[in-house]
Amino acid sequence: MRQCWLCAQEADDVWCSLLHDVEDARAYGWDLPEAPQLQWSRFIENKNNEILRLNGIYTGILTRAGVQILQGKGSFVDAHTVAVEGEGGTKNYTAKTILIAVGGWPFVPEIPGKELAITSNEAFYLKELPKRVLIVGGGYIAVEFAAIFSGYGSKVSLVYRGENWLRGFDNDLRTHLKTEYDTQGIGVRFNTNVTALAKTASGIAATLTDGSVEEYDVVMFATGRKPRTETLNCDKAGVKLDDKGAVVVDEAMKTSSDNVYAIGDVIDRIALTPIALAEGHCLADTLFGGKPRKVDYSDVPTAVFSNPPIGTVGPTEEEARKQYGDVHIYRTSFRGMKHTLTKREEKTLMKLIVHPETDKVLSVHMCGDAAPEIMQLAGVAIKAGATKAHFDSTIGIHPTAAEEFVTMRSRV
């Protein structure tokens, strides 16, 4: 167990991410005269400024394209009319075609003291960095925020009601990341949930399903997001919702009302920003561009920005075996060259799943540095129908982690 000179805590207890990058520099010969000090308020200010900058850019793009932006809260009056409630009151607007793209909203279950919890909406508006954080959930957001808070020096615990987190990801990735978080000192517990929250003199008391009570400074729920349709009055437009509140659409993104369409998280298909963009692009081409087309939801590459990050494209091993039978598995786990000097116990996992008859690479899975960057081009290879022979005949770039994908020869 190494002593972390930057955060004055043992490295197995708190993983400092960026701070540890500085610490790792010592193994490469660098000495720093002073330990870095965190200015949380500066980070929040810079984050706010970046959001304003991006909003300005998108507003400019829309304005130059001739889009009229109405600031307010909208709801349906009928299938062709939307009421917009703004500072100057409520005004009705009519249109031939209406698109619903309101996204989703974090969901906090009904438990005593739920008002004491925060969600991802509030996480980056905290006035100071909490020392003790409990995260409830096991999806993208929960896993990512566990790494974020831990990386800034908080003591982090994560509880999830299921047997394993990151549902829908390959089991090797799920198990590997759990081991990495254990090594970093992030307390991950499965088959555990929060049943109540209560304010104390020094924090928030969280009661768990086993009856134990633990105290934290912040309790963050990342237990899912619900389509944001509650106040849209979709029934007035004849727009049907499913039992989760998602807008029901066909392959062309059309709702049950002929002139109303919906895209993005509000239709609850694949909740990823690039998917919403693709859906919007296809809809615009179909309705107004004279190029009818539909979104291809197969082999969507995705990433979890955990620490280390996950990148994946294609089916899990379980899904592949169910569909193709005795698929060929190639897998390796190793400590990256960077850490052969730092001695940090961080490992990379890489995995290929190959069709047993056609030799086509069905899936690429990775947990390790640069996994999201690597997976973007792996997604191109999968879409192009690359085979294991193509991977094998490709010259590796040395020394990189990515070369392992073209040098794995032995099946497991």
For this structure, is 390 an active site residue?
no
Q: Which residues contact 149 (CB under 8 A, 6 or more apart)?
A: 129, 130, 133, 135, 156
Q: Where are the beta strands (DSSP E) in 56-161?
A: 73-78, 81-86, 89-94, 98-100, 104-106, 132-136, 155-159
What DSSP line would sit under 274-309, residue for residue?
Answer: HHHHHHHHHHHHHHHSS-------TT--EEE--SS-
Q: How many CB atoms lie within 10 A of CB 288?
A: 9
Out of 20, 80, 339, 398, which one is annotated catalytic?
398
Which residue do the tokens 């081991």 mark?
179
Distance CA 226, CA 187 (A): 27
Dihedral angle, C-alpha 157, 160, 166, 170, nearest 10 ° = 100
The answer to whether the CB of 229 falls within 8 A of the CB of 243 is: no
Phi, psi of 63 (to 5 degrees): -65, -45
Residue numbers annotated as active site: 398
